């Protein structure tokens, strides 16, 4: 992994966090005029339509190999279904509670994303990242309970936590196809997830909001969901699901600051202690991602048979390894994968290095 690509990926993840941070406080304001499920629908529809318009000017530049294909369908379907449930739960949670509380609880998404990445998809999680996750989770829990002296979850908090669980699994589904067209991913997320939420809103009998508020919600969706998801997926290509989610943890605290300014909410004393824990966790994430790498080249020899004739291909390339790895010459066993993401995962396992 080149240093420049890591820096760009980190910038994309942080930009995604800043854009998404607009979602909670502004959605709270909009929901004085837009019911929660319709709000979720218009946010995703705005993302799909906005990025879809951008895609009209860029689709010819894409390589055919970047576009989604039939093998990607299970992850696309999972992504869409989870993106129907998550924003609906979030809007209900915001409507029942405060925008600042909902923003901070978004950090629980890091935990679900990382655990699913580790247990289901076997993505490597370093000790440094586990420390960061622990600190960030603790900072969230400090402000999860209802009242200063209460250990009872608020109903709004429970819905927000349910949303983060959906998004944790959805992040990992998206990670499986993050090497494909980012435009296609966001457009499919937006249009299909938004349409699903729209149908749910109609079935629940929610009143259809005025056109001006619906249009405003869609503009917010384009910025806070569409562009945010776009940069998030681009960051995942390099950082993986767990590390991208950890950088994305800046979003809840930015959202809280915006809630103070936009919604007139005021910070409790525990907020500042939670912020200190979050900053400490961020230091571990940055160090884990920006650790020095050394570069070396090596060769793959691929032998296969086609039409009765044996062919041999020699592929030479270089890649980075953690600087704590041995500098001695060493060999690797490789198997050939059609999917490049699977290839690199196997390579990391064989080389016993942190790519």
Please tell me whether residues 196 and 309 are part of one structural domain: no
Q: Identify the domain boundary among 290, 322, 342.
A: 290
For residue 255, the model assigns a pLDDT of: 84
Q: How many domains does the chain have?
A: 2
Q: Among 231, 278, 236, 247, which Cα is nearest to 19's? A: 231
For residue 211, the model assigns a pLDDT of: 93
Please tell me whether residues 282 and 317 are part of one structural domain: no
For residue 141, the model assigns a pLDDT of: 73
Please tell me whether residues 26 and 71 are part of one structural domain: yes
> What is the C-alpha to C-alpha distance for residues 208 and 84, in angstroms, rounded to an integer?
18
Residue 288 — left, alpha, or beta (φ > 0 → left; ψ -120 to 50 → alpha)?
alpha
Please tell me whether residues 260 and 324 are part of one structural domain: no
Q: Which residues neighbour 317 within 8 Å (Cβ) at sequence distance 6 or greater?
A: 297, 298, 300
> What is the C-alpha to C-alpha distance for residues 135 and 145, in angstroms, rounded to an integer?
17
For residue 229, the model assigns a pLDDT of: 84
Please tell me whether residues 127 and 34 are part of one structural domain: yes
For residue 62, the model assigns a pLDDT of: 85
Over the range 172-211, which residues count as b (16 or more CB within 10 Å of their CB) and which as e?
A: bbbbbbbbbbbbbbbbbbbbbbbbbbbebbeeeebeebee
Stated as kind and residue range, the H or E segment containing 337 is: none
Please tell me whether residues 98 and 198 are part of one structural domain: yes
Please tell me whether residues 130 and 184 are part of one structural domain: yes
Q: Specify whether the CB–CB gap between 105 and 229 falls below 8 A.
A: no
Please tell me whether residues 93 and 180 are part of one structural domain: yes
Please tell me whether residues 135 and 219 are part of one structural domain: yes
Reading the chain (355 residues) residue by residue, the pLDDT tens digits are 566 788 888 899 999 999 988 988 999 999 999 999 999 999 999 999 999 999 998 888 888 888 999 999 999 999 999 999 999 999 999 888 888 778 877 777 877 887 888 888 777 778 888 888 888 778 767 766 655 444 456 788 889 889 999 999 998 888 889 888 989 999 999 999 999 999 999 999 999 999 999 999 999 999 998 999 889 888 888 888 777 877 877 787 788 788 888 888 776 677 778 778 877 887 787 677 666 433 334 444 444 444 555 444 444 343 433 333 333 344 444 444 334 344 433 443 333 333 3
Torsional sign, CA 157, 166, 115, 326: negative
Please tell me whether residues 284 and 314 are part of one structural domain: no
For residue 146, the model assigns a pLDDT of: 54
**How many angstroms separate the first and last alpha carbons of the chain?**
7
> What is the C-alpha to C-alpha distance for residues 96 and 158, in angstroms, rounded to an integer?
10
Q: Which structural domain, as residue segments, surrounds residue 302?
A: 295-351
- Extract long-range pairs of 336-342: CB within 8 Å, 24+ residues apart: 336/302, 336/304, 340/179, 341/176, 341/178, 341/179
For residue 153, the model assigns a pLDDT of: 61
Please tell me whether residues 305 and 254 are part of one structural domain: no
> What is the C-alpha to C-alpha distance for residues 353 and 355, in angstroms, rounded to an integer?
6
288, two tokens: 């884990």
Residues facing 313 on adjacent strands: 302
Residue 86 CA: distances (Å) to CA of 50, 64, 92, 184, 234: 20, 31, 10, 20, 21
Q: Mapping DSSP to helix (H, G, I), strand (E, B) and coil, where does residue 302 land?
A: strand
3-state SS of 236-267 is: HHHHHHHHHHHHCCHHHHHHHHHHHHHCCCCC
> What is the C-alpha to C-alpha distance for residues 280 and 242, in angstroms, rounded to an integer?
17
For residue 152, the model assigns a pLDDT of: 54
Residue 117 CA: distances (Å) to CA of 71, 84, 86, 125, 244: 20, 21, 18, 8, 12
> What is the C-alpha to C-alpha distance for residues 343 and 331, in angstroms, rounded to an integer?
16
**pTM value?**
0.69
Please tell me whether residues 303 and 202 are part of one structural domain: no
Stated as kind and residue range, the H or E segment containing 16 is: helix 3-21
């Amino acid at each position: 992994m080149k240093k420049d690509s890591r820096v760009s990926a980190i910038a994309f993840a942080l930009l995604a966090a800043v854009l998404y941070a607009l979602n909670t406080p502004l959605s709270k304001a909009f929901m004085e005029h837009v019911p929660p499920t319709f709000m979720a629908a218009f946010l995703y529809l705005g993302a799909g339509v906005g990025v879809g318009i951008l895609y009209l000017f860029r689709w010819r530049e894409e390589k055919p190999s970047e576009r989604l294909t039939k093998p990607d369908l299970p992850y696309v379907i999972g992504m869409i279904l989870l993106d129907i449930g998550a924003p609906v739960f979030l809007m209900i949670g915001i409507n029942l509670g405060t925008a600042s509380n909902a923003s901070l609880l978004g950090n629980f998404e890091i935990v679900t994303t990382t655990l699913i990445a580790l247990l289901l998809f076997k993505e490597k999680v370093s000790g440094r990242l586990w420390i960061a996750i622990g600190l960030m989770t603790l900072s969230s829990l400090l402000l999860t309970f209802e009242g200063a002296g209460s250990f009872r979850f608020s109903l709004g908090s429970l819905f927000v936590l349910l949303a983060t669980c959906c998004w944790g699994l959805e992040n990992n589904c998206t990670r499986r196809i993050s090497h494909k067209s980012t435009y296609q991913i966001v457009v499919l997320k937006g249009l299909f997830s938004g349409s699903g939420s729209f149908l749910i809103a109609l079935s629940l009998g929610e009143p259809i909001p005025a056109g001006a508020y619906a249009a405003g919600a869609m503009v917010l969706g384009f910025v806070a969901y569409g562009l945010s998801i776009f940069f998030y997926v681009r960051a995942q290509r390099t950082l993986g699901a767990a590390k991208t989610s950890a950088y994305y943890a800046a979003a809840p605290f930015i959202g809280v600051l915006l809630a103070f300014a936009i919604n007139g909410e005021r910070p409790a004393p525990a907020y500042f202690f939670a912020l200190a824990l979050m900053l400490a966790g961020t230091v571990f994430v940055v160090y884990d991602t920006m650790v020095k790498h050394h570069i070396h080249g090596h060769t793959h020899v691929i032998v296969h048979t086609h039409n009765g004739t044996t062919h041999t291909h020699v592929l030479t390339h270089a890649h980075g390894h953690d600087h704590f790895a041995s500098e001695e010459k060493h060999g690797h066993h490789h198997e050939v994968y059609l999917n490049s993401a699977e290839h690199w995962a196997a390579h990391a396992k064989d080389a016993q290095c942190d790519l």
